[in-house]
Amino acid sequence: MAAILYAQFRSYDIKELVTRLNEGYYNALDIMCLNAHNCIGQLQEDDQHPSVVLYTSIYSALLTEIQDLLLFRRDVILPYLEELIAKSEAGHNCKECSGKCHVGHNVHLMSLKNSHDKIKDVLAELQSSTLPLHMDVEYPAAYRILRNEIAVIDNMLIELFYIEESSLIPKVMETQKSINA
């Protein structure tokens, strides 16, 4: 089913795919994390629900971890991909250059794959750290909003993981191969 839902990402060239991931996932996830942090701020002002404090602190740490993963993509992976795309468009051949263009192609690819392990860990923690809602307890509205934000973030991380694994990494490898990296 996922192959059908995200088939369009496989049809994009690497440049379009990177743009779509940045705009549709990296930026959107960052905004969602900020919204969730705002909900946590509202909940920390509410002392009527002490059990919520534990969960908000867990969520806060997880959101910070997600933002670190997004920052890594913006500061390391995106610049590398832009350089790789530029080299490919210029017809660069790494076997014929003087060695001055060494950009650590394999290191960047491995670091992206390693960040996927971190995403899996964050997803597992998000699933296990939800405060159970009981029918006889009234929770603050901000907590219900936070749970919804976390659910959306969870879904977007799953989608991002799948798209990067099934589309981005193969396209990066293909582009690397095209310039003999």
Residue 164 DSSP one-character state: I
Could you please report the per-residue DSSP string of 76-90? IIHHHHHHHHHHHHT
The two tokens of residue 157 are: 């991380």
**pLDDT, tens digit, for every residue of 43-56?**
877 666 666 777 78
**pLDDT, tens digit, for every residue of 114-134?**
888 888 888 788 777 665 655
Residue 133 DSSP one-character state: P
Indicate the domain borders of the chain.
Answer: 12-178
**Structure confidence at residue 48 (pLDDT):** 62
The CA–CA distances, whole Å, from 174 to 5, 38, 117 equal 23, 41, 22
Mean pLDDT (10-residue bins), the chain, 181 residues:
68 93 94 92 73 80 92 92 90 76 74 84 76 60 84 91 92 89 74
